[in-house]
Amino acid sequence: MKFSANLGFLWTDRPLPDAIRAAHAAGFDAVECHWPYDTPAEATRAALAETGLRMLGLNTVRGNPGENGLSALPGREADARQAIDQAVAYATAIDCGAIHVMAGFAQGPEAHATFLANLRYARAQAPEQITLVIEPLNRHDAPGYFLQTTDQAAAIIAELDLPGVRLMFDCYHVGRTEGDITTRFTALKPLIGHVQFASVPDRAAPDHGEVNYAYVFDRIAAEGWDRPLGAEYKPGGDTDATLGWLVAYRA
């Protein structure tokens, strides 16, 4: 099993290049992030080259304070497409594998149509080698977020019918909203572009809580998934002190 460190939550006390180095030292196979834009792409690319790690994914920006993405917001198309252009440019510069196109807080048919239009724009702008992912967020952490379930995301992907638009399957969000994580993974596997995880319900390291990740990881591996799983959890302090789960899997 391979693992990716999500540097949006892990080693946030360090500049992004140093966080990449810390992930390498800890034994991660790859990295991913949220919003790297304050770090020059050249510095990020240099740290990736130095460590031999690949950046698997990054997010489009949230928008204004209190927002959580722009691409499903009617009337904000110009802002959403500026965010997409920014993400495409940065991802291209660092050879990043995927862009998470954040939908934002919106509901209804107009929001649905806006999201589809912006995803079509993103697919037209992004190079073929960059995957676009969309991610349902659970209703407890992100009430009112446009994408709320994996079924909704799957329907959007089917309606778009575009190459390289896939589902971000976050075990934490699925666990909090839908449950039945391994059954959902098996059913949705053909649509999945990336997998993330954290303990349920507190979104901390995956060594406690309602979800038995030893079982989940074994089932995911049994399905033939061989790409890194993204550790997107909140360490609540020193990241290195929370990595017992990674040491155990490496052993």
Q: How confident is the model at residue 250, as a pLDDT? A: 80
42 is catalytic: no
Q: How confident is the model at residue 236, as a pLDDT? A: 95
Domains of the chain with bracketed CATH: 3-250 (3.20.20.150)
Write out the chain's pLDDT in tens, 251 residues. 999 999 999 999 999 999 999 999 999 999 999 999 999 999 999 999 999 999 999 999 999 999 999 999 999 999 999 999 999 999 999 999 999 999 999 999 999 999 999 999 999 999 999 999 999 999 999 999 999 999 999 999 999 999 999 999 999 999 999 999 999 999 999 999 999 999 999 999 999 999 999 999 999 999 999 999 999 999 999 999 999 999 998 87
128 is catalytic: no
Q: CA-CA distance, 36 to 15, in Å (whole number)?
A: 10
Single out the catalytic residue among 50, 128, 135, 210: 135
The residue length of the chain stands at 251
Single out the catalytic residue among 32, 50, 67, 232: 232
